[in-house]
Amino acid sequence: MEATQTSQKTVDQVWAKRPLIISGPCSAETEEQVIETATQLAKTGKIDALRAGIWKPRTRPGSFEGIGTKGLAWLQQARKITGLPLAVEVATAKQVEDALHFDIDILWIGARTTVNPFSVQEVADALRGVKLPVLIKNPINPDLELWIGAAERVAKAGVEKIGLIHRGFSSYGNTEYRNAPMWHLAIEMKRRNPGMMMICDPSHISGRRDILQAVAQKSLDLDYDGLMIESHIDPDNAWSDAKQQVTPAKLVELLDGLLWRREMVEEAAPVLDKLREQINHIDDELMQLLSQRMKIADNIGQFKKDNNITILQTNRWNEILEKAFKKGEKLGLTKEFIVKYFDAVHMESINHQNNIMNS
């Protein structure tokens, strides 16, 4: 096994670095490609760790399924030259064993693995007693419990450095994104795991180059701890995920174009406190009004019960929505929000009426 480079930051230092920037090709393809990408990335001085897929979980057989274990030796070589720590995806016990054998620094569990508790447990068991940091991608389906479960399984195996990667959720049909970000799920995941590192993978969310930066910026504005972005010396001819990879030079442009905002500063606190006080006040009033609204729904429920009338009146519901869209537009509220808000209020109102009518 190769000696650790003196220029290499320790993995502890890398793990603590904010923002943490991981980049490298979707897949290791050839020795030259790995080393050239790593060299160009290292030269930028903006990268903390080198990623490369060695075993690729492809959706359909026949796509490039990864170069396999020999790619680990190329990665070692790249680390020797650049000093960049190495991050690799693992999905089976054997892959963990191989990655450990080649002294990989950081492991990650991919989205197609996080969905399967058997696979996560297999990886977790193989990690018992191992001190490496492990990053866990969100599962491909929007199920927070699976993501949390995977983190718990890895934690139970004794892994202490656990981080999360938000890479979006798959959906049926063509959308703007390859994997819909569903930011609210990642925000909820952060809320439920305070202090756990969360980085964004704009590459797999976007699936294309033109929106990478906007997605990355959004994650920074949500106070993420870092980014994992795929890069390749010749993206158009990449053996996997060609459409979303960028050259190291483009990556620098992208990173330089991002605004890294501060979480909080002392002088901002009084100003924000005042504005937040106003928000709290309005939230209180909204709650009071909603409670009043539901009391009226109760009365309507009683009336409908006495007169044997159905709860749902589709015409009335349409009328409410149409009116709200028009009014919302004038008030600067999006149609999307109006639908969500009225859906929630309407459902709560139906539940109230249902309780009365069937009590």
Q: Which residues contact 148 (CB under 8 A, 6 or more apart)?
A: 189, 192, 193
Nearer to ligand PEP, 211 or 294 (CB): 211
CB of 240 to ligand PEP, least distance (A): 7
CB of 248 to Mn ion, least distance (A): 16
Q: Is residue 89 a contact residue for Mn ion (CB under 5 A)? A: no
CB of 56 to ligand PEP, least distance (A): 6
Distance of CA 199 to the CA centre of its chain: 7
Q: Which residues contact 334 (CB under 8 A, 6 or more apart)?
A: 328
Q: How far apart are CA 172 and CA 182, in angstroms?
A: 14
Neighbours of 357 (CB within 10 A): 16
Could you say which of Mn ion, ligand PEP, none residue 79 binds, taking C-beta under 5 to 8 angstroms by partner kind?
Answer: none
Interface residue with ligand PEP, options 20, 49, 111, 233 (CB under 6 A): 111
Could you say which of Mn ion, ligand PEP, none residue 110 binds, taking C-beta under 5 to 8 angstroms by partner kind?
Answer: ligand PEP
Distance separating the N- and C-terminal Cα atoms of the chain: 73
Q: How far apart are CA 68 and CA 28, in angstroms?
A: 9
Could you say which of Mn ion, ligand PEP, none residue 218 binds, taking C-beta under 5 to 8 angstroms by partner kind?
Answer: none
Segment near ligand PEP (CB under 6 A); pick from 11-19, 109-117, 219-227, 296-304: 109-117
Q: Is residue 241 a contact residue for Mn ion (CB under 5 A)? A: yes
Nearer to ligand PEP, 113 or 217 (CB): 113
Site residues for Mn ion, window 1-30 (CB under 5 A)? 26
Q: Is residue 204 a contact residue for ligand PEP (CB under 6 A)? A: yes
Q: How far apart are CA 142 and CA 147, in angstroms?
A: 9
Answer positive or negative: Cα dihedral of 303, 305, 307, 310.
Answer: positive
Neighbours of 349 (CB within 10 A): 20
CB of 228 to ligand PEP, least distance (A): 7
Segment near ligand PEP (CB under 6 A); pick from 104-112, 267-275, 320-328, 330-338: 104-112
